[in-house]
Amino acid sequence: MRVATWNVNSLNVRMPRIEEWFAYAQPDVVCMQETKLADAGFPYMTFEAMGYEVAHNGTGRWNGVAIVSRVGLDDVVAGFSEVDCPVFDGGEPEPRLVTATCGGVRVSSVYVPNGRSLVDPHYEYKLAWLEALRSEIKATSKSSDPVVVCGDFNIAPEDKDVYDPKKFLTETHTSPRERAALAGITALGFTDSFRTIYDDERLYSWWDYRAGDFHQGRGLRIDLVLVSTPLADRARWAFIDRNARKGKQPSDHAPVVVDLDMEGLV
């Protein structure tokens, strides 16, 4: 099963590039973030024409997550089902989570809040959202279940996932509390599957649009494919597709792709 996660940063803007990528990458399951669409505005027919079913959770111009699958799509849950969804500044729950069963695997697409800065209220919201995600996963799955949690976590797990850790000492994405929150999720029995294939430095999935960061290699690895214990040893190939970050009007994220050997599992 070829699983990918990709923060597309607006489907309306990226759709031609996304169709091109699906044609050559041939993924089985793709978790997308920042679709920036309401459910009614999602281009379901375009994906159906390519052979995919879609589960989408979106309300409009911000956020929005989707799961696109050609190996089945069942038991869809938009948002949190077992815990209360944290809200920011008294607002409404944001569409940052969608879950479905694809080919016998329970898959979640997540878009973790950015945090903005260590002194911004959005930072505490981010930590609360991550704790809710941990509680949701714990409540809805067992360690023996095949589960994949994909998405833009807005956290670089280790210093080697950051082009210059010293520049982020007082910034979000690398703070001890954020990394501890992510560790709380992986402690449930999850493995960062990309790292089971590649342990190198300077492998990034996001680059700021400004100052030529992509071409200068100033990036972060914040897009993760977390897999539960039954899948931990089944990653056979992984790839961050930098080509999808090149050219005209790319997303600031590249797709992260992991091939899982499903033989004998489901």
**What are the pLDDT digits (tens) for 34-80?**
999 999 999 999 999 999 999 999 999 899 999 999 999 999 999 99
**What are the pLDDT digits (tens) for 115-148?**
999 999 999 999 999 999 999 999 999 999 999 9
Which of the 8 DSSP states describes residue 39?
A: G
Task: Go through the domains of the chain in sequence order and give each one's CATH number.
Answer: 2-260 (3.60.10.10)
pLDDT at 266 (0 to 100) = 66
CA 120 from centroid of its chain's CA atoms: 23
Q: Full-prediction pTM beyond 0.95?
A: yes
d(CA 263, CA 266): 7
Per-chain mean pLDDT for the chain: 97
CB 212 within 8 Å of CB 136: no
CB 5 within 8 Å of CB 109: yes
3-state helix vs strand vs coil in the chain, percent to 5: 30, 25, 45
